[in-house]
Amino acid sequence: MEKQREQWGSKIGFILAAAGSAVGLGNIWKYPYLVGENGGAAFILVYLICVLLVGLPIAVAEILIGRTAQQNPVGSFRILTNGNRFWMGIGLLGVLAGFIILSYYNVIAGWSLGYVIQSIGGRFESMIHPQQAGEMFSCLSASTGWCVGYHLLFMALTVGIIYAGVTKGIERASKVLMPLLFLLIVVLVIRGITLPGARPGIRYLLKADFSAITADAVLLALGQAFFSLSLGMGALLTYGSYMSRRENIITSTSWIVGLDTLIALLAGFMIFPALFAMGLEPAQGPALIFNMLPVLFNDIPGGYFFRILFFILLALAALTSTISLLEVITSFLVDEYHFRRHRVAVIMGGLIALFGIPSALSFGAWSEIRIAGKTFFDLSDFIAANILLPVGGLCIALFVGWFWRSGSVKTELLTGTQTLPVWISGLWIFLIRFIAPVLVLIIFLQKIGIL
């Protein structure tokens, strides 16, 4: 006999685990540098609009599919479409996207772990100029042993948590990690905004200069909303499949989206006021936090301590995201092929780590190896984030908005939402049918260079 499918131990456990998937390097590493490169407050405003119009409705749709079918992405589409191969293929595309994203995301997660050790070792203590930290970053990210070592170590951590099972592993971990993460960010925000000279940084984040908003920036903001919320590949779908039907999807999802957005906004307040206080340029690109933060902390009383906290925080945030990526793949293989969870977690973790090694070497030994002008790292990121996620998200919106019988969509949505005003479900249906697909289509066409 099949064992009964595991479920989240509590409503808050689901919300924290899903928020843990969403909150990660996307919020703390990528969001600040995108804000820094696109002029600050105005970009943030556009990002927030994208989260509301695209992110929230598609997140509800994904969780709804998962909760209704109680299956992995492929199995969910099989159940809801009576085995339609096209839609099952979309589910499979999500699993593939998870594989690719995890392979390179884990590399940066490994860096953050490495920076915890560097910080503990006091390697940044004597640095005065951000340039010195920049040189150290270039040196470390080019080192084969350092990159591959931490990459493998981080994968081992991820596998360990998946190994422990859904409710025991992810939920227990998230219950501890998420509030701790939030607390650490708040401490760092307070530290940042109380530094002398922080005011221009605060203004940078609050006073919108709309001349900075180009069509490109709008599309970047849309793409970031997608990535940051873990949308488009069935991660939220899988987490939704462990959810009880008694729960209110709209309020749970709003919490997840709200927490993810709040943490991104806080990450901005953690970095820019301090950065301006140091008189540094905001447009630092992807190296922003690795180049800047180690030195910024030297200007802060207790900087040694705060720096260690920050990189622990970053590693924890990345860990709750890598867990969700591996869980999608694991639940697919466990549900579809009845493999053992423990074995799948170890074997897939190993394969993904192996597949990620070229990405880990992309900043050093293999930086000259290019495919279509891109390093392995850039290519993986391009294929996964710029092609697979937008296609997946668009299909999820189209499926729920147009192909799933609208009677059952409404019934399923309303299950567990007795107290919800009618106009909210009506608004959601409008967004998922019209607004979200059109906007996602625009992101996708822009990213592959047609628009």
Is residue 26 a contact point for ligand TRP (CB under 6 A)?
yes
**Which tokens go with 108?**
């940066």
Taking CB under 6 A as the binding criterion, the range among 79-87, 152-160, 195-203, 222-230 that sits at the site for ligand TRP is 222-230
Is residue 228 a contact point for ligand TRP (CB under 6 A)?
yes
**Least distance (Å) between residue 323 CB and ligand TRP:** 9
Is residue 21 a contact point for ligand TRP (CB under 6 A)?
yes
Q: For ligand TRP, give the closer residue by CB, 136 or 353.
A: 353
Taking CB under 6 A as the binding criterion, the range among 109-117, 170-178, 284-292, 321-329 that sits at the site for ligand TRP is 321-329
**CA gap 360, 105 in Å, rounded:** 10
Q: What is the DSSP letter of 63?
A: H
Contact 55, 355 (CB under 8 A): no
Is residue 233 a contact point for ligand TRP (CB under 6 A)?
yes
Position of minimal CB gap to ligand TRP: 26
Is residue 24 a contact point for ligand TRP (CB under 6 A)?
yes
Name the residue with tokens 């929230």: 56
**Which tokens go with 112?**
């953050």
Taking CB under 6 A as the binding criterion, the range among 60-68, 134-142, 320-328, 433-441 that sits at the site for ligand TRP is 320-328
Contact 46, 221 (CB under 8 A): yes
Which string of DSSP letters, residue by residue, matches 211-252?
GG--HHHHHHHHHHHHHHTT-SSSHHHHHHTTS-TTS-HHHH
Contacts of 425 (CB under 8 A, 6+ apart): 250, 410, 413, 414, 417
- Count of residues near ligand TRP by CB under 6 A: 16
**CA gap 43, 77 in Å, rounded:** 36
Is residue 68 a contact point for ligand TRP (CB under 6 A)?
no
Q: For ligand TRP, give the closer residue by CB, 195 or 436.
A: 436
**Least distance (Å) between residue 417 CB and ligand TRP:** 25
Q: For ligand TRP, give the closer residue by CB, 53 or 96.
A: 96
For ligand TRP, the binding residue among 17, 19, 20, 27 (CB under 6 A) is 27
Closest listed residue to residue 341, CA positions, set 76, 164, 96: 164
Is residue 103 a contact point for ligand TRP (CB under 6 A)?
no
Closest listed residue to residue 327, CA positions, set 6, 60, 56, 88: 6
Is residue 107 a contact point for ligand TRP (CB under 6 A)?
no
Is residue 390 a contact point for ligand TRP (CB under 6 A)?
no
**Residue 209, Ramachandran bin (φ over 0: left; ψ between -120 and 50: alpha; else beta):** beta
Contact residues toward ligand TRP (CB under 6 A) are: 21-22, 24-27, 101, 227-228, 230, 233, 235, 321, 324-325, 389
